[in-house]
Amino acid sequence: MDLNEFLTFAAIGFAAQIVDGALGMGFGLVANAVLLAIGTPPAASSAAIHAAKVFTGGASALSHAWFRNIDRRVFLHLVLPGMIGGVLGAAVLQHAPPEPLRVAIGVYLALMGLWMLVRAVRNRVARKRVHALGAHGTGLVAGTLDAVGGGGWGAVVTSSLIAQGAEARYAVGTTNAAEFFVAIAISAALTASLGVVSWVWLGGLVAGGIVAAPVAAWLTRHLQMRILTAMVGFAVIALSVHSLWRLLR
């Protein structure tokens, strides 16, 4: 095993999981951006990230369950549609150019992040019960986009749940818990078509992510709702702008 390569991927996994676990989004987007920047082939990067999410997502789900950050009702409404969307997205990834879809979702997320930021600044973060159909649609769309774009489940689901009235803490925890099962579906579909990823890459991403998971869940448990909502808004805007810049340059 190449220790330097393992430590590099562990550092990427740690940083990505801190962002994802604390804000409910970003593991795939952050890790994919770094891996592509250091020259990792896109297909290999996507496969490694989704395989790693199976392990980091499990650790994150357990951590959020420990800190009671999960809304069980919304979780159950998200999981199955998310898994179905993930498998559909993996199929689309093999047969259709994803760039137009990624541009559209980048614009959508940037606008949603801006709206969330305005709500947080104006201290108008309403809390209400998330409708089942809204959760179903969110899971299906997010799972599809996550598989097609190499990331984005957290950004779509967390921001959408908050927009539908969920408390930021529960939106983050529920999103991370559901992502574990969605990652299993996407990873299985991608592995079937692309093959098994490098164990050094996977081991590094998983090790870093697992170490970061409880730290991120603790941050989510103790941050105020207004601050967490603002952080989610900033993260959505930053990740969306970065993705659009990479696609359109």
C-beta atoms surrounding 45 within 10 Å:
23
66-92 pLDDT, tens per residue?
A: 989 999 999 999 999 999 999 998 888
Count of beta carbons in the 10 Å neighbourhood of residue 104: 11
Res 101: pLDDT: 65
Shortest CA distance to 139 belongs to which of 93, 92, 106, 185? 185
Confidence of residue 119 (pLDDT cuts 50, 70, 90): low
Other C-beta atoms lying within 10 Å of the C-beta of residue 244: 17
Whole-prediction pTM value? 0.76
Model pLDDT for residues 201-217, shown as the tens digit of each residue: 888 998 998 898 888 88
pLDDT digits (tens, 9 = 90+) for 170-189: 998 999 899 999 999 988 88
Of residues 124 and 131, which shows the higher confidence score?
131
Find the distance separating the first CA and the last CA of the chain, reported in whole Å: 37
d(CA 182, CA 65): 17
More confident position, 206 or 95 = 206
Concatenated DSSP letters of 170-221: HHHHHHHHHHHHHHHHHHHHHHHHH-PPPHHHHHHHHHHHHHHHHHHHHHHH
How many independent structural domains does the chain possess?
Answer: 1
Over the stretch 1-39, which tens digit does the pLDDT of each residue have? 588 889 998 999 898 888 777 777 778 777 877 776 677
Range of the structural domain that residue 244 is part of? 3-248
